[in-house]
Structure 1
Amino acid sequence: MDLKGKVALVTGGNGGLGQRICHALAREGAHIGVMYAQSREQAEGVAREIASQYQVNAAAFGCDITDKAAVERLVADVRARFGALDILINDAAYNKSIPFPDLDNLTEEVWDKIMAVNLTGPMRLTKAVAPVMKAQGSGRIVNIASVAGLGPTGSSIAYAVSKAGLIHLTKCMAVALAPETLVNCVAPGLLEGTRATANLRPEQVTLSASSSLLKKAADKDDCADMVVTMCRTETMTGQTVVIDSGRTFH
Structure 2
Amino acid sequence: MDLKGAVALVTGGNGGLGQRICHALAKEGAHIAVMYAQSKDQAETVARDLAARYQINAAAFGCDITDGTAIQALIDNVMKRFGRLDILINDAAYNHAVPFQNLDDMTPQVWDKIMAVNLTGPMRLTQAAAPIMKAQGRGRVVNIASVAGLHPTGSSIAYAVSKAGLIHLTRCMAVAMAPETLVNCVAPGLIEGTRATANLRPEMIERSASTALLKKAADKDDCADQVVTMCRTETMTGQTIVIDAGRVFH
TM normalised by structure 2 equals: 1.00
* Aligned equivalents of 1:62, 1:55: Cα separation in 2: 23
Partner of 1:178: 178
Which 4+ runs in 1 deviate beyond 2 A? Answer: none
* Aligned equivalents of 2:105, 2:54: Cα separation in 1: 45
Aligned-residue CA RMSD (Å): 0.2
The letter of the residue matching 1:89 is: I
* Aligned equivalents of 2:114, 2:31: Cα separation in 1: 30
Q: How many residues align?
A: 250
* Aligned equivalents of 1:7, 1:69: Cα separation in 2: 22
Partner of 1:164: 164
Question: What SS class does the counterpart of residue 45 from structure 1 fall into?
Answer: helix
* Aligned equivalents of 1:131, 1:198: Cα separation in 2: 37
**Residues 1:49 and 2:26 are matched in the alignment:** no
After superposition, what is the alpha-carbon deviation per residue over 1:110-147, rounded to whole angstroms, capped at 9, x for unaligned?
00000000000000000000000000000000000000
* Aligned equivalents of 2:86, 2:30: Cα separation in 1: 9
* Aligned equivalents of 1:234, 1:164: Cα separation in 2: 25
* Aligned equivalents of 1:120, 1:30: Cα separation in 2: 27
Partner of 1:113: 113
After superposition, what is the alpha-carbon deviation per residue over 1:179-220, rounded to whole angstroms, capped at 9, x for unaligned?
000000000000000000000011100000000000000000
* Aligned equivalents of 2:219, 2:68: Cα separation in 1: 33
Question: What SS class does the counterpart of residue 88 from structure 1 fall into?
Answer: strand
Partner of 2:85: 85
The letter of the residue matching 1:2 is: D
Q: CA deviation at 1:42?
A: 0.1
* Aligned equivalents of 1:52, 1:192: Cα separation in 2: 27
Q: CA deviation at 1:60?
A: 0.1
Which runs of 5 or more residues in structure 2 are unaligned?
none
The letter of the residue matching 1:33 is: A
Q: CA deviation at 1:14?
A: 0.2
Q: CA deviation at 1:25?
A: 0.1
* Aligned equivalents of 1:245, 1:4: Cα separation in 2: 31
List aligned pairs for 1:1-250, cutoff 5 A: 1-250=1-250
The letter of the residue matching 1:150 is: L
Percent same amino acid among aligned pairs? 80
The letter of the residue matching 2:188 is: P
* Aligned equivalents of 1:109, 1:68: Cα separation in 2: 19
Which runs of 5 or more residues in structure 1 are unaligned?
none
Question: What SS class does the counterpart of residue 129 from structure 1 fall into?
Answer: helix
The letter of the residue matching 2:197 is: T
Question: What SS class does the counterpart of residue 32 from structure 2 fall into?
Answer: strand
The letter of the residue matching 1:64 is: D
Question: What SS class does the counterpart of residue 13 from structure 1 fall into?
Answer: coil
After superposition, what is the alpha-carbon deviation per residue over 1:79-131, rounded to whole angstroms, capped at 9, x for unaligned?
10001000000000000000000011100000000000000000000000000
Question: What SS class does the counterpart of residue 171 from structure 1 fall into?
Answer: helix
* Aligned equivalents of 1:179, 1:109: Cα separation in 2: 38
* Aligned equivalents of 2:160, 2:75: Cα separation in 1: 28
